[in-house]
C-alpha cells in the first residue's frame, strides 16, 4: 500500500524560531530547497535592454520570483519527507555560480508543531533545561516557552589577583 503524501502547509513557515499559539514537539533538522536558473537568450536580451534604459527589469524580477518559489516548494517537500509539519528560521540565499547561471536556495529547520492548548503542563514542575527552537538545540522541548525559574540561595565568588603564567 502506498504511503500517503505528506506536505507542509506554507502558512506554517516563518523566519522566526517560534510560532505563536504552537509549541515545538520535535525538531527534524535543517531542510533546504535548491534551484539553478539560466535566462534563455530571448529573456536575456529583453532584460539587457531594460537595464540599459534604467529602472527595474520586470523580466529578471519574474525569473527571480519563480526561482525563489521553486526553491521554497522544494524546501517544503524536504521538510515533509523529514517528518515535519512546519519550517522555522526560513532564509533565502542566491549567488551566481557561473556566467548568468544563478543558484537560489531556501533553507530552515523542519519541526513538528502542536497547538499550545494540546500541551499538558508538567505536574510540580522542577527546574528543567530550557530549549529553544534554534537548529543547534536538539531535541526541542514542547515547554520551550516556560518561564525561567529564579535561583535560590547565594553565590559567593572568590576573587584572586591575576598573575601571568611563568615561562
Domains of the chain (ranges; CATH) run: 10-39+68-116 (3.30.110.70)
pLDDT at 58: 77
Q: What is the pLDDT of residue 125?
A: 45
Higher pLDDT, 24 or 121: 24
Q: Is 153 exposed, middle or buried (0-12, 13-18, 19+ CB in 10 A)?
A: exposed
HSE, side-chain direction, 13 A CA sphere, residue 116: 9
Q: What is the pLDDT of residues 38-97, one digit of tens each?
A: 865 455 555 555 556 666 777 788 888 999 999 999 999 999 999 999 999 999 999 988
Q: In a 10 Å sphere around its CB, with 0-12 CB exposed, 13-18 middle and 19+ buried, how is residue 134 labelled? A: middle
The percentage of residues in the chain with a pLDDT greater than 90, rounded to a whole number, is: 41
Q: Give the highest mean pLDDT range of 42-51, 80-89, 119-128, 148-157.
A: 80-89
Give the model's pLDDT for residue 12.
94
pLDDT at residue 62 in the model: 86
Amino acid at each position: 500500500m502506498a504511503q500517503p503524501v505528506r506536505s507542509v502547509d506554507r502558512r506554517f513557515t516563518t523566519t522566526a524560531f517560534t510560532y505563536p499559539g504552537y509549541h515545538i514537539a520535535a525538531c527534524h533538522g535543517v531542510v533546504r530547497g535548491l534551484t539553478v536558473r539560466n535566462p534563455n537568450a530571448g529573456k536575456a536580451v529583453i532584460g539587457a535592454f531594460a537595464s540599459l534604459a534604467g529602472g527595474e527589469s520586470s523580466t529578471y524580477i519574474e525569473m527571480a520570483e519563480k526561482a525563489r518559489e521553486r526553491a521554497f516548494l522544494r524546501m517544503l517537500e524536504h521538510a515533509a519527507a523529514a517528518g515535519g509539519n512546519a519550517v522555522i528560521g526560513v532564509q533565502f540565499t542566491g549567488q551566481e555560480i557561473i556566467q548568468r547561471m544563478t543558484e537560489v536556495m531556501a533553507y530552515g529547520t523542519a519541526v513538528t508543531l502542536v497547538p499550545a492548548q494540546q500541551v499538558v503542563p508538567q505536574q510540580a514542575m522542577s527546574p528543567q533545561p530550557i530549549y529553544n527552537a534554534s537548529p543547534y538545540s536538539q531535541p526541542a522541548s514542547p515547554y520551550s516557552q516556560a518561564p525561567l525559574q529564579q535561583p535560590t540561595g547565594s553565590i559567593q565568588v572568590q576573587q584572586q589577583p591575576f598573575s601571568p603564567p611563568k615561562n
